[in-house]
Homo-oligomer: A and B are copies of this chain.
Amino acid sequence: MGNRIRMGLVGGGPGSFIGPVHRIAAELDGEIALVAGAFSRDAQRSTEAVHGYGIDPARAYPSIEAMLQAEAAREDGIQFVTIATPNFHHLPAARAAIRAGIAVMSDKPMTATLTEARELAGLLATNPVPYGLTYTYSGYPLVREMRARIAAGALGAVRKVVVEYNQGWLAGAGEGKQAEWRLDPARSGEGGCIADIGVHAFHLAEFVTGLRVERINADLGTVVPGRALDDDCQMFLRFEGGARGLLMASQVMTGEGNDLALRIYGEKGGLRWSQENPNRLEWLRADGGMEVVRAGDAGLSPVAMRGTRLPGGHPEGLLEALANLYRDFAGTLRGEAGSLVPGVDEGLRGMALVATAVVASRDGRGWVDFEV
């Protein structure tokens, strides 16, 4: 393993989809190695999981607490944990790690509720350890390119932001393990679609523009009868400085896959990007001409180049985008600056979005201030 940073995984037991994704992405650039896990609260299942990850069965634990304790006693013990569990477990897992002085990389949303998020933020304030949130899509090189260009003034003042995240996989009854916990408020939290993918869209809008949302007007709905949580969201946004925005997120747009797309317009031009074809960025000039930028080509900003492993025309994908977050996080653990991994602030803003939008929409309140 050389001097790879050692990672422990919370969640990701047998049959998990997201566990292997974290392993691949974390290890992709050779800076991190998964060496231990609390894969399941069922000790036997946790041990079974090691086969898929290729790790020592002795380092499979039935709980994060057990893992933290045992690993602390090893010379080659874990140096950070990744939390890849349903939302309701994010806080207790993070709490345990933070109290043990262990850095945390967590799936979004930060927690199940805003109250929990505030507790977690307080805990980190008094027990500072590196804390990152896997808003995966912000790891795409061309998303980072958009951010760099806008920061450099390429668009002039930003005027209009359209961000959408369209899925269709919950247009039916929503069977299967993935659907089940997301549709259950006890495990998912206050928001359904808004918490699962709306926060991704919201984060991207703020990340790319560098602007904070100040007011929202939310319209959340439940399209499939019998659900306790929203499955379709639309929202007007108003950013600091007055830029206008629109956010769509839905899990009932039948036939859509993972259509996360971002369009930003300013005085001098526009930028369009779509996650399903992520190695292509469109730059709209004010004269109507369009330039297509390809990931990996010369001339991109340093932050985009750093997140690209292959030359133009050789596609990279979502695993590589997540790997970019892990690479940044590894840098932080080594004491380097420059990480773009979202943290506490972004986490709190996401949870505040869920809480604010759910209440404002339910009460038909129209425009409301957005504060954390």
Interface of A toward B, CB cutoff 8 Å: 1-4, 17, 20-21, 23-24, 27-31, 50, 52-56, 155, 159-160, 162, 167-169, 171-172, 217, 219, 221, 223, 232, 234, 236, 244, 246, 248, 250, 252-259, 263, 265-270, 275-279, 284-294, 297-299, 309-320, 364-367
A-B contact pairs, 29 of them (CB 8 A): A2-B54, A20-B309, A21-B309, A28-B319, A30-B53, A159-B252, A160-B253, A168-B284, A168-B286, A172-B286, A234-B246, A246-B246, A246-B248, A254-B266, A254-B286, A256-B270, A257-B294, A275-B313, A276-B315, A287-B297, A289-B293, A289-B294, A289-B299, A290-B294, A310-B318, A316-B318, A317-B317, A319-B320, A366-B367
A202 to B367 alpha-carbon distance, docked (Å)? 23
Q: Tell me whether B288 and A289 are in contact (CB under 8 A).
A: no
Given contacts A265-B168, A298-B287, A320-B319, are A258 and B292 in contact (CB under 8 A)? no
Minimal beta-carbon separation of A360 from chain B (angstroms)? 9
Q: Would A313 and B252 count as touching, CB distance under 8 A?
A: no
Quick one: copies of this chain in the complex? 4
CB <8 Å contact, B314 and A258: yes
Q: Could you tell me the distance between the alpha carbons of A288 and B293 in the complex, rounded to whole angstroms?
A: 8
Contact (Cβ within 8 A) B292 A290: yes
